[in-house]
Every structure is written in C-alpha cells, then in structure tokens.
C-alpha cells in the first residue's frame, strides 16, 4: 500500500521534530524520576508489533522496580501501591509515553495505529487476528484509544483496531491524532486497576 510508505515518511519527520522540540521536557522528567525513586529512568517491555513481531516498547518508568513483570496494570492487585508519585502524574498526563517517539523513529511503531499488545496478552492478539488488525503498524494512539482507551473490553478494542486496519489512510490518522490531543488534555479514558467498563454492545462507542 502506497500510504504505508507515506505514513512511514511522516513518522520519521514528526518523530525527529518531536525529539528535538521536546528534549527540555525529557530532561525535566528524567530529573524528576531520579529524585522520586530508585531505578532506571526508562522502562522497557516486550510488545507485539506489525505481523505479530516482537520489539521492546519504551516508556518513562512510573512504577517501583519491584513491580511484578509482564503484568498489565489492570491485573495487579491494588495497582496504586506500585505507582510512584511522579509516575501517577506521568500516567494521568500520558507523558510516560513520550519515549515511544524513539520507537517511532526506529520504525518499530507509527504515530497512529493499534496500541501494541503485551507479548502475553493472547486474548487481545487472537481477537486482533480475527479482525485483521495485526497486519498494520502499531501506534502511539489509534481508533480504540479515541473511543475509550483503558475502558474498552478486549473484543471492542480489537473490533475498533480492525476497523482502523480496513480504513487506514491520511484522514483517519489525522482524525485519531486530533481527538487524541483533546483526550489527553482532558485526561480521558485512563483507568488504573480496571478495564472493560464499556461493553461490546454499548451504542456510545464511536464508529
């Protein structure tokens, strides 16, 4: 698909600009994390990319270093006990996702696409297979994120990811990007310790 080549070029240009423009923000966050808790600044986690390939996603560390590994936050018992003070702010504002600009620059992710699943989120991966969503570049944000984010049940999320895969194009990406910016500013759809409050038959999910 011709658009995928254009999409990659856009990713390279915007991620390069992002790394340059946001470098002061990166520095401030790095200092805050180091002052707040012991451990590395960046958090690496094995995720599933396009065609179910694996890569290590980058985030600013928001949790204690003794947090159980490879466990989604919503599956942790009392997740708040594992999140650091700075981490709570970073997660609410989505600033913890900024290092993924590096993943985008490297070509492991795109700006827009289905959010990369954990390598052991077999249900989500299987549902995406059914909906054809594993064969497009994963992204920083996507159609599922602008329709509920952490509140979506797995089958709803996979269906929306599949819809994105079918309708992938410049205008779809612009729409997802613009709505994401608004959602982040409003701090919408972030649910610590829970997921799936929006049911598969709920009519409020945008199409």
pLDDT, position 67: 76
Q: Are 101 and 18 in contact (CB under 8 A)?
A: yes
**Among the listed residues 89, 80, 206, the one whose alpha carbon sits nearest the alpha carbon of residue 151:** 206
Q: Are 156 and 186 in contact (CB under 8 A)?
A: no
- List all residues 6 or more positions away from 44 whose beta carbon is below 8 Å from its beta carbon: 56, 57, 58
pLDDT, position 181: 87
- What is the full per-residue pLDDT of the chain (207 aa) written as tens digits? 799 999 999 999 999 999 999 999 999 999 999 999 999 999 999 999 999 999 999 999 998 888 777 666 666 677 778 899 999 999 988 899 999 999 999 999 999 999 999 999 999 999 999 999 999 999 999 999 888 766 688 999 999 999 999 999 999 999 999 998 887 777 655 554 444 544 444 433 333
Q: Can you tell me which residue has the tokens 């797995």?
A: 154
Greatest distance between any 2 Cα atoms in the chain: 47
Distance CA 47, CA 121 (A): 9
């Amino acid at each position: 698909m011709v658009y995928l080549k254009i999409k990659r070029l856009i990713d390279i240009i915007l991620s390069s600009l992002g790394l340059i423009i946001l470098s002061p923000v990166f520095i401030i966050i790095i200092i805050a994390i180091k002052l707040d808790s012991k451990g590395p600044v960046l958090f690496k986690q094995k995720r599933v990319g396009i065609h179910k390939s694996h890569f290590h996603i980058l985030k600013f560390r928001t949790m204690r270093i003794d947090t159980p590994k490879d466990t989604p936050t919503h599956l942790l018992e009392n997740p708040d006990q594992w999140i650091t003070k700075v981490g709570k702010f970073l997660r609410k504002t989505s600033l913890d996702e900024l290092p993924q600009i590096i993943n985008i620059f490297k070509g492991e992710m795109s700006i827009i696409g289905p959010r990369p699943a954990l390598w052991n989120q077999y249900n989500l991966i299987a549902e995406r297979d059914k909906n054809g969503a594993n064969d497009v570049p994963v992204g920083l944000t996507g159609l599922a994120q602008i329709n509920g984010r952490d509140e979506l049940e797995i089958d709803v999320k996979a269906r929306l990811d599949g819809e994105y895969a079918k309708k992938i194009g410049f205008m779809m990406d612009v729409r997802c990007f613009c709505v994401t910016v608004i959602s982040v500013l409003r701090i919408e759809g972030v649910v610590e310790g829970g997921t799936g409050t929006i049911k598969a038959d709920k009519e409020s999910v945008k199409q």
